[in-house]
């Protein structure tokens, strides 16, 4: 037992691959995360299973694709019938803790955006309990722990184990508007901060980009600092404890709204940020979804102030969003340093693998867009991944393809624990595995959109130097040569010259879709 390694997984929300110093950002300083990279292996081709929070975080936990674990889009809680890799660690004797954002369940009470089916005249509708083809109690009591109504009760506390975590300090939502254990802590330890929360309470500023909010919440009471403090305390309490552990430290930043507190607000200047290619490409013919986004923003300049989907932005707005994002990431980097130091002080660092990743990216001006949506650009699907094993190699970069749902499989392999039948993640080379030869990405959303149609769905493959995406609905399918066109500005789907590579990628995508069709539950008899 005591010979088994421990693990710390740092995860951010909505951070692109290229937004780390060690991954080549020309301005952003991330000294602590860079130090982690120098101690281990940095992956240059790491992709999400789905470029949106709930599906990808569920893939992280289950080592399965969205079509298998059932969280195909935002708004679908992760069913308790799914086994998580954290449960397997716990069953093997690991102490397990999650500090920060979970988002495995819904955090709002907003109505769904799915248009209800219309009953045809003369036809009888099924009763409510039979209206969906699968029976699930996803609106039951065990799926309410991240909604504010649950936390408005007296002495709220999430029952554990929570998806395998025995310890859970929760931070709900983003920016100044966090909830869960963080808000309960603020009420007790810094009640004066409550009056500083809100869009109407911010400091004056001259930024014009959507959701730029100069919060009055001080750095020491902001969610990033709270998470670092709780994680450090949890590690410090382990002094002399020989049991192995898995600790997930999950930051809500740098997801919008853009609210870096205190010194982090003006740590970076918009004029120092790299200008996305789409603002300089005079001959670029944007895809229909970009044209629609630009038309809608021109008609309503306030669009995007509340939205969580892709909106069109000017070059200046894009640079502002980048600068504020860098400020939020720098605060996360300082928090990572605090937790890493706590691991050293607790005497556990020498037997602890430390990892860093994010759940998806943000356009941040690429293709003149901000936030995220059904688009499958590299800025949304490509994220950082660092594996720093004190007993492994250091200072290496890997060109291997890997994905979010490979993380749990790799941890289990490294810990010499068998996976559950039906887990689909590959084992990365850092744990002696063979990795994968293609990345497979699935996306779905509730909201009907003019460019994509009702309930857009798109599946993607990244293989070799190519990215192919097939949209179910109105949007044109896409094929990009990532070597000659890394900015994904020229869609080659209709190019006769590329018909052969397109056909081979479609075949490969079909094979991958078949490979992740569920093999569980297993048969209970021959027949």
From first to last of its 527 residues, what are the pLDDT tens digits of the chain?
468 999 999 999 999 999 999 999 999 999 999 999 999 999 999 999 999 999 999 999 999 999 999 999 999 999 999 999 999 999 999 999 999 999 999 999 888 988 888 899 999 999 989 999 999 999 999 999 999 999 999 999 999 999 999 999 999 999 888 999 999 999 999 999 999 999 999 999 999 999 999 999 999 999 999 999 999 999 999 999 999 999 999 999 999 999 999 999 999 999 999 999 999 988 899 999 999 999 999 999 999 998 778 999 999 999 999 999 999 999 999 999 999 999 999 999 999 999 999 999 999 999 999 999 999 999 999 999 999 999 999 999 999 999 999 999 999 999 999 999 999 999 999 999 999 999 999 999 998 999 999 999 999 999 999 999 999 989 999 999 999 999 999 999 999 999 999 999 999 999 999 999 999 999 999 99
Query: Torsion angle of alpha carbons 228, 234, 237, 239, nearest 10°?
Result: -80
CATH number, domain 6-115+140-438 = 3.40.720.10
Instruction: Name, in order, each residue with C-beta under 8 angstroms of 138's C-beta and a sequence gap of 6 or more.
Output: 76, 77, 79
Helix, strand or coil, per DSSP, at residue 355: strand
For 172, which DSSP code? B
Distances, alpha carbon 333 to alpha carbons 20, 38, 72, 251, 500, in Å: 9, 15, 31, 11, 45
**pLDDT for 1:** 45
Q: What is the pTM of this model?
A: 0.97
| Bridge partners for 172 per DSSP | 179
Q: What is the CA radius of gyration of the chain?
A: 23
What is the end-to-end Cα distance of the chain in Å, rounded?
41
Q: Residue ranges of the domains in the chain? A: 6-115+140-438
CA 296 to the chain's CA centroid: 27
Residue where the block lists tokens 């994680």: 231
For residues 440 and 516, the answer to whether their CB atoms sit within 8 Å is: yes
Half-sphere CA count of 435, side-chain side, radius 13 A = 16
- Interior angle at CA 298, CA 487 and CA 365, nearest 5: 25
Cβ contacts of 290 within 8 Å, gap of 6 or more: 312, 367, 368, 369
> Residue 229 is inside which H or E element, if any?
helix 223-236
For residues 29 and 328, the answer to whether their CB atoms sit within 8 Å is no
Tokens of 216: 């009055």
Tokens of residue 390, six digits: 């004190």
């Amino acid at each position: 037992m005591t010979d088994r390694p421990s693990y710390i997984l740092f995860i951010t929300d909505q951070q692109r691959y290229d937004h780390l110093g060690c991954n080549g950002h020309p301005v952003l300083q991330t000294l602590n995360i860079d130090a982690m990279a120098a101690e281990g292996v940095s992956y240059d081709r790491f992709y999400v299973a789905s470029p949106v929070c709930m599906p990808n975080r569920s893939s992280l936990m289950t080592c399965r694709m969205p079509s298998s674990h059932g969280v195909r889009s935002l708004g679908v809680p992760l069913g308790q019938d799914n086994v998580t890799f954290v449960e397997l660690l716990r069953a093997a004797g690991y102490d397990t803790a999650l500090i920060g954002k979970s988002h495995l369940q819904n955090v709002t009470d907003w109505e769904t955006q799915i248009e209800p089916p219309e009953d045809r005249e003369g036809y009888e509708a099924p009763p409510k309990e039979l209206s969906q083809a699968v029976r699930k109690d996803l609106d039951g009591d065990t799926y309410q722990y991240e909604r504010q109504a649950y936390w408005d009760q007296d002495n709220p506390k999430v029952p554990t184990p929570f998806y395998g975590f025995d310890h859970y300090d929760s931070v709900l939502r983003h920016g100044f508007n966090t909830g869960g254990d963080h808000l309960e802590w603020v009420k007790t330890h810094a009640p004066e901060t409550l009056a500083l929360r809100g869009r109407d309470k911010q400091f004056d500023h001259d930024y014009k980009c959507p959701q730029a909010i100069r919060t009055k919440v001080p750095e020491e009471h902001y969610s990033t600092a709270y998470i670092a403090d709780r994680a450090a305390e949890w590690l410090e309490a382990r002094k002399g404890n020989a049991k192995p552990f898995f600790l997930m430290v999950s930051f809500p930043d740098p997801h919008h709204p853009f609210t870096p507190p205190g010194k982090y607000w003006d740590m970076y200047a918009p004029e120092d940020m790299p200008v996305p290619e789409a603002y300089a490409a005079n001959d670029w013919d944007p895809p229909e979804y970009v044209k629609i986004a630009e038309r809608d923003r021109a008609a309503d300049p306030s669009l995007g102030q509340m939205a969580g989907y892709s909106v069109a932005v000017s070059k200046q707005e894009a640079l502002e969003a980048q600068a504020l994002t860098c400020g939020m990431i720098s605060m996360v980097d300082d928090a990572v340093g605090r937790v890493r130091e706590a691991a050293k002080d607790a005497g556990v660092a020498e037997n602890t693998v430390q990892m860093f990743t994010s759940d998806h990216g943000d356009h941040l001006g690429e293709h003149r867009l901000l936030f995220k949506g059904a688009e499958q650009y590299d800025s949304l699907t490509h994220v950082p991944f660092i594996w720093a094993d004190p007993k492994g190699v250091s200072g290496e970069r890997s060109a291997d393809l890997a994905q979010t749902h490979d993380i749990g499989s790799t941890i289990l392999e490294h810990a010499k624990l068998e996976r559950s039948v039906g887990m689909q993640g590959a084992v990365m080379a850092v744990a002696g595995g063979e990795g994968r030869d293609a990345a497979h990405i699935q996306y779905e959303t509730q909201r009907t959109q003019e460019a994509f149609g009702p309930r857009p769905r798109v599946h993607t493959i990244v293989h070799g130097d190519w990215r192919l995406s097939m949209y179910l609905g109105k949007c044109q399918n896409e094929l990009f040569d990532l070597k000659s066109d890394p900015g994904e500005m020229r869609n080659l789907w209709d190019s006769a010259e590329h018909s052969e590579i397109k056909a081979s990628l479609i075949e490969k995508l079909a094979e991958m879709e078949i490979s992740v069709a569920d093999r569980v539950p297993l048969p209970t008899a021959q027949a």
